Structure formats: structure tokens, C-alpha cells
């Protein structure tokens, strides 16, 4: 019986069957460049989003454009998209429109980003490694749809697909969270420091996911927090 369960576990991993894990001190490793791999995140918001915050860490030496977090609905493929077109810029898309945040070029180290948006004011916030950038206006009065496909590592040009491998991610991703509220400044800093956080729609500590292609879960090699 023990061997049977072992083989079932191996087959589940190979076939991409959904898992739910506490991924503390673990990472998703996207091994190829360019890559057709991605991770499907399994969550269904109970209602359309009037506010949200998305946070994650990335570790890569890519200089080409790449997608970090893609939330698509059948009506809008870039419903929420966190995208890095070049080393000195991040873009936050809401409802197909975006604002750009210019940043210092990385030192080939872990980068922690949080982006939040609220419909009532259209205010978009961007935080890099625990520090806020100037706020910008985006899609005031818009509502983010709830029926979504949420992926890491690819940009969706259609619901759940339509990938361009030259916008794919290669490297390591960790500490992915999505809230249906805008986090306070203290909580933004807590996310960077991996401290206690409020309940989330998507939580790295209890993540339901499905691996597609050449992406694996591995222990983190080094501390992700910078000086």
C-alpha cells in the first residue's frame, strides 16, 4: 500500500494535479529561458474586486520583458497584471490599462514588490523592497471581475492561455499573496519582512496551485530579505 501511494504521488506531480501546501521558505523555480512553464493558482473571489493588493518576490537575471502575476477574465486578459518590461520599470495593469513605475536597476538579487489599487479613487500604489513609490491614478470607478484565471510565469493574452514565451518568467518566485483590500503602510512593510499578515485570497502559507511544464518547488537557497 505504501508503494502504491508513492506512485500515486509521483503521477500526481508529473500530471500537474493540484496541490495545496505551506510554501514557507520554498520557491517556484522556472528553469528555462524562454519558458512555456507556468503555475495556476486556484482561488475564486466571492465577488468582483473594488480593491486589491498583490505581493510577491522574484529572483532573476532576465533583462527582457517578463510577466510576474497575471489575473485574466473572459472579458479582459489584463484584468490584473504585474509586468516588468525592462530592468528599470514595473507596470501595473488594471482592466487593460497600466501605470509605469521607474525603479533602479536591480543588483541580481531578490526583489519584493507589492501593488495595490482602489476603485473609489483610482489610486495605485507600488512598493519595492518595503519602500513606497509615488502613487498614480488608474481606472477610477472600475470593477475587477471575479471569474478569473490566475497564473504565475506567463502573460495571458486569452483566458488561461495565449502565451508569448518571450514574455515568460525565468528564475525564482516566492511569497505570493493576493488580498481583496488595500494594505496599510505597516502591512506593506510586514509583507516585505515576512511578518504576520492578514487573511488573504491567495496566501503563500496555504497555496492551492498546479504546476504546468518545467517548473518545480524547491527550498529557498538564501534569505530573500536585503539590507
Strand partners, 99: 92
Report the predicted TM-score, pTM, of the whole model to 2 decimal places.
0.90
Place of cell 507589492: 114
Which H or E element spans position 91?
A: strand 89-94
The grid coordinates listed for 198 are 492578514
For residue 15, pLDDT over 80 is answered with no
Nearest residue to 128 (alpha-carbon basis) of 67, 87, 170: 87
- Structural domains of the chain sorted by starting position, each given as residue range(s) with its CATH number in brackets: 18-219 (2.60.120.200)
The predicted-structure confidence for 70-122, as pLDDT tens digits, reads as follows 999 999 999 999 999 999 999 999 999 999 999 998 778 999 999 999 999 99
Amino acid at each position: 500500500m505504501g508503494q502504491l501511494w508513492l506512485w500515486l504521488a509521483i503521477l500526481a506531480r508529473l500530471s500537474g494535479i493540484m496541490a495545496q501546501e505551506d510554501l514557507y521558505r520554498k520557491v517556484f523555480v522556472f528553469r528555462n529561458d524562454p519558458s512555456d512553464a507556468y503555475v495556476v493558482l486556484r482561488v475564486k473571489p466571492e465577488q468582483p474586486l473594488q480593491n486589491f493588493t498583490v505581493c510577491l518576490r522574484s529572483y532573476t537575471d532576465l533583462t527582457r520583458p517578463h510577466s510576474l502575476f497575471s489575473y485574466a477574465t473572459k472579458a479582459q486578459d489584463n484584468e490584473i497584471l504585474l509586468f516588468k518590461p525592462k530592468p528599470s520599470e514595473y507596470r501595473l495593469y488594471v482592466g487593460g490599462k497600466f501605470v509605469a513605475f521607474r525603479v533602479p536597476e536591480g543588483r541580481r538579487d531578490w526583489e519584493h514588490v507589492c501593488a495595490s489599487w482602489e476603485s473609489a479613487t483610482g489610486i495605485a500604489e507600488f512598493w519595492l523592497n518595503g519602500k513606497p513609490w509615488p502613487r498614480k491614478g488608474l481606472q477610477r470607478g472600475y470593477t475587477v471581475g471575479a471569474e478569473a484565471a490566475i497564473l504565475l510565469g506567463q502573460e495571458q493574452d486569452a483566458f488561461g492561455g495565449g502565451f508569448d514565451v518571450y514574455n515568460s518568467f525565468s528564475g525564482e518566485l516566492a511569497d505570493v499573496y493576493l488580498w481583496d483590500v488595500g494594505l496599510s503602510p505597516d502591512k506593506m512593510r510586514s509583507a516585505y519582512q515576512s511578518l504576520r499578515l492578514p487573511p488573504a485570497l491567495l496566501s503563500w502559507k496555504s497555496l492551492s496551485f498546479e504546476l504546468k511544464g518545467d517548473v518545480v518547488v524547491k527550498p529557498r537557497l538564501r534569505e530573500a530579505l536585503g539590507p
